[in-house]
Structure 1
Amino acid sequence: MTSFRTFTLKSTFSTLTAAAALAVAASTAAAQEVTLRFQHFVSPLSANPTYFMAPWAEKIEKDSGGRIKVELYPAMQLGGKATSQYDLIRDGAIDGGWVIPGYQPGRFPEAEAMELPFMVTKSGEEASNAAWVYTQKYLMDDFADVKVIAAHMHGRGIVHKKGGPIATVADFKGLKLRGPSRTATRLLDKLGATPIGMPVPAFPEALSKGVVDGGVITWEMSPSLKLDELTDSHTDVAGEKSLYNLYFIWAMNKNVYDGLPDDLKAVIDANSGFHASGWAGHAHDTGDVVGREKMAASGNALAELSEEETAKIRTLGDEVIAEWIADMTAKGLDGEAMVRDARAAVSVTRAQ
């Protein structure tokens, strides 16, 4: 017969063994290693991947003590289309990535307020700080099925084209120009151009085949798209405001984020938000300097429109804004409030 003492020892041993197993499991969970696959749709040598995405991934790894590794896949290497990035993240096909909501026209209409003509300054960092503030008020519900890490804008938008630079509004007439968003293509149409909407990866081929005569895009994207070879001139508007801009989010799959232990969630959270958004925008500013220098070194013409001609474009831009407000009203949204709050976000963040 088993003695009470023997039974107690066995029971105690079993309890200690179970406790040790739990401790090991807890330790394993605490030391959980996670690999996150983030995808984007441009060259790894372009500004945002170079000056934001790669440093952000390195910081996540460092801050997590090596427990989170972020792998970056450029040029849609994991599959899918640039226009479907949001759904790829939401559905878990990828763990995270870079999204241009405007690539799905009408799906995220409130984001378009930040993209309206002459809405933001030519500083990507300032524009991105404003984008994060605006996003908190208007877009977090729309993006509720992903984890938004940053909401940002690029730097100044430039007209790049074959042939000489734009000197007057009349020079836009008849040009086939690539536009990245509804608001940008509306403005190009007002200017007398034939706007052709397309994502950035399609732009170089469209130029080389003569599908377009040029398009609007940033300085920083120019080298990776070989615009020094495919175009001859680059024209900016006068003043501190950008001709157009584009709204982006850097986001991850919500279930993947929710599945992280709390201390690793804290690492993601600490590298998200206002600061991360400004960092992403600053990456574009850094790239703009490099891109402009590369275009100048190629011998291409760099130009800036006069104040008078810029004022004419601003008047047309105001028409685009008024029409956009009317569109939002028809959708049951308060377009006037969105424009007002977008402008306020730009003003407030500039003053900080």
Structure 2
Amino acid sequence: MTTPTTTENTTDTRRGLRVTGVLAASALALTACSGVVDDAGDGEAVTLTLATAATAGTPNAAVQDLFLDRLEEASDGRIEIDRTAPESLCEATEIVECLRDGRADIGVTVPDYTPQYFPTLSVSGIPFQGQNSQAITQTLYDIHRDYEPAVARMDDQGLHYVSAWPVGRLLFGAQEPIESAEDLNELRIRASGPTIQRILQDSGANITALSASETYEAVERGIVDSVGAAVDFAVNYRLMELLPYWTDPGVGQYSTFGMWLSKDAYDTLDPELQTIVDEVAQDLNEGSAVDAFNEAASGQCDELAGESRVEMLDEWDEADREAWAAEVEESGRDAWIATANEHGMDDPEALLEEYEAGLEQYQDADYEDATLTCVRNFAN
């Protein structure tokens, strides 16, 4: 196949890895199908193409950029990142396919947009179960590093796991206050994630599944009149301009952003670079991802508080929160198990046990939730 050339200000979208520097001329022998360098030997520099759904300025972009910066730094420039603009190379819902077919080497998006690939990550969407983002991030990392069925599933999908971190606490944004589960009945709401969607449907809501970038227009056009989403929907995606009432129902963390290398890209790296990727990923999962997320998220409260069209940002009363939690405790677990079975996962109950054991192991992980702090300080 012909190797495309590039010109200034044009994004090079060659599949797979691209050799740079003085070795470029000799190393541009690409495989006929995938375009991946045949042999990235010791000392060669490689460029990894990023496809991302993380909008600049969001906490998720902060985590992504931390990982990419540290890769380039730790490799002394041997790893370079072609940082394409969000959704310019692939739409958010297609990024995993871009990794699988070789258009990108690193992908960052919401796993719940393509839940058929990620039942091992959607387990984090069981409502009221996960409140500590660090415990969730570390547990998911351990599972995808040590629990063989999860490792095998990533391999089968052609992906090398880097990290998955919670997108932030679930908030409801609406035209009118949502104060209890009763207010969800007949609500037209945007929500993402198979488990929370089922729980909301069971509470009488009418669900529309939309990506983050599609949601503003859907609210503006009246396709939905409310959202279930993290605080960056209010701030970075500007839903605070349209929806004046925001509340935290106590669900906690309900979905993740994920980051992967394509397996072909990772396997082509020489052992030294593979070690660098894995060590930077380990540090990310052991705390730096959540630190970067929280640092960026802490600034969102000031923007939300300064928006004159926002009438309310609060949390449900304890009695309403506990009543809904009790109502969905078992159905949430059952909903995830049903979804995992639908997506061909063997023995999802065993993975759920691994996940719950991890949350217990890391329950004391140092963590302060920036969103919850924002909610509780909003009226002060």
In which range does the TM-score fall when normalised by the shorter chain?
0.7 to 0.9
| Counterpart selection for 2:279 from 270, 279, 282 | 270
- Output the amino acid matched with 2:76: G
- Output the amino acid matched with 1:293: D
Deviates more, 1:323-332 or 1:140-149: 323-332
Pairing 1:116–2:126 present: yes
Give, in whole Å, the separation in 2 of the partners of 1:67 and 1:324: 41
Pairing 1:168–2:191 present: no
Match of residue 208 from structure 2: 196
Give, in whole Å, the separation in 1 of the partners of 2:341 and 2:103: 35
Contact 1:161 1:214 in 2 (8 A): yes
Could you tell me how far 1:255 is from its partner in structure 2? Answer: 1.8
Give, in whole Å, the separation in 2 of the partners of 1:61 and 1:110: 29
Pairing 1:91–2:101 present: yes
- Output the amino acid matched with 2:169: R
Match of residue 125 from structure 1: 134
Match of residue 10 from structure 1: none
Pairing 1:349–2:362 present: yes
Contact 1:128 1:154 in 2 (8 A): no
Match of residue 373 from structure 2: none
Could you tell me how far 1:329 is from its partner in structure 2? Answer: 6.0
Match of residue 8 from structure 2: none
Larger Rg: 1
CA 1:296/1:332 → structure 2, altered by over 3 Å: closer, same or farther?
closer
Give, in whole Å, the separation in 2 of the partners of 1:133 and 1:31: 31
Could you tell me how far 1:134 is from its partner in structure 2? Answer: 3.1
Match of residue 155 from structure 1: 168
| Counterpart selection for 1:282 from 265, 288, 291 | 291
Give, in whole Å, the separation in 1 of the partners of 2:47 and 2:360: 39
SS at match of 1:222: helix
SS at match of 1:180: coil
Give, in whole Å, the separation in 1 of the partners of 2:341 and 2:267: 36
CA 1:88/1:231 → structure 2, altered by over 3 Å: closer, same or farther?
same
Match of residue 39 from structure 1: 51
- Output the amino acid matched with 2:68: A
| Counterpart selection for 1:181 from 193, 197, 208 | 193
CA 1:119/1:172 → structure 2, altered by over 3 Å: closer, same or farther?
same
SS at match of 2:223: coil
RMSD: 2.4
Contact 1:162 1:231 in 2 (8 A): yes
Deviates more, 1:339-348 or 1:100-109: 100-109
| TM-score in terms of structure 1 length | 0.82
Deviates more, 1:321-330 or 1:251-260: 321-330
Pairing 1:61–2:72 present: yes
CA 1:315/1:185 → structure 2, altered by over 3 Å: closer, same or farther?
same
Could you tell me how far 1:305 is from its partner in structure 2? Answer: 0.2
Residue by residue, what CA displacement relative to the aligned partner does 1:37-68 show, whole Å, maximum 9, x if unpaired? Answer: 1111132121121x222222221111111121
Contact 1:125 1:278 in 2 (8 A): yes
Contact 1:61 1:68 in 2 (8 A): yes
Could you tell me how far 1:328 is from its partner in structure 2? Answer: 4.8
Q: Equivalent residues in 2 for 1:134-153 (5 A)?
A: 134-136=143-145, 137=147, 138-144=149-155, 145-153=158-166
SS at match of 2:162: strand
- Output the amino acid matched with 2:244: D
Residue by residue, what CA displacement relative to the aligned partner does 1:65-84 show, whole Å, maximum 9, x if unpaired? Answer: 11211132232111x33222
CA 1:102/1:332 → structure 2, altered by over 3 Å: closer, same or farther?
closer
Q: Is there any run of 5+ residues in structure 2 with no aligned partner, and where?
A: 1-25, 27-39, 366-380
Give, in whole Å, the separation in 1 of the partners of 2:45 and 2:341: 48
- Output the amino acid matched with 2:47: T
Could you tell me how far 1:180 is from its partner in structure 2? Answer: 0.8
Q: How many residues are paired up?
A: 319
| TM-score in terms of structure 2 length | 0.77
Give, in whole Å, the separation in 2 of the partners of 1:35 and 1:323: 41
Give, in whole Å, the separation in 2 of the partners of 1:228 and 1:271: 35
Give, in whole Å, the separation in 1 of the partners of 2:43 and 2:116: 43
CA 1:323/1:37 → structure 2, altered by over 3 Å: closer, same or farther?
closer
Match of residue 22 from structure 2: none
CA 1:135/1:348 → structure 2, altered by over 3 Å: closer, same or farther?
same
Match of residue 292 from structure 1: 301
Could you tell me how far 1:95 is from its partner in structure 2? Answer: 1.2
Contact 1:34 1:68 in 2 (8 A): yes
- Output the amino acid matched with 2:69: E
Give, in whole Å, the separation in 1 of the partners of 2:318 and 2:56: 36
SS at match of 2:54: coil
Residue by residue, what CA displacement relative to the aligned partner does 1:228-249 show, whole Å, maximum 9, x if unpaired? Answer: 21211111024xx61x511332
Give, in whole Å, the separation in 1 of the partners of 2:110 and 2:248: 23
Give, in whole Å, the separation in 2 of the partners of 1:258 and 1:71: 19
CA 1:141/1:308 → structure 2, altered by over 3 Å: closer, same or farther?
same
Give, in whole Å, the separation in 2 of the partners of 1:321 and 1:312: 17
| Counterpart selection for 1:257 from 256, 261, 266 | 266
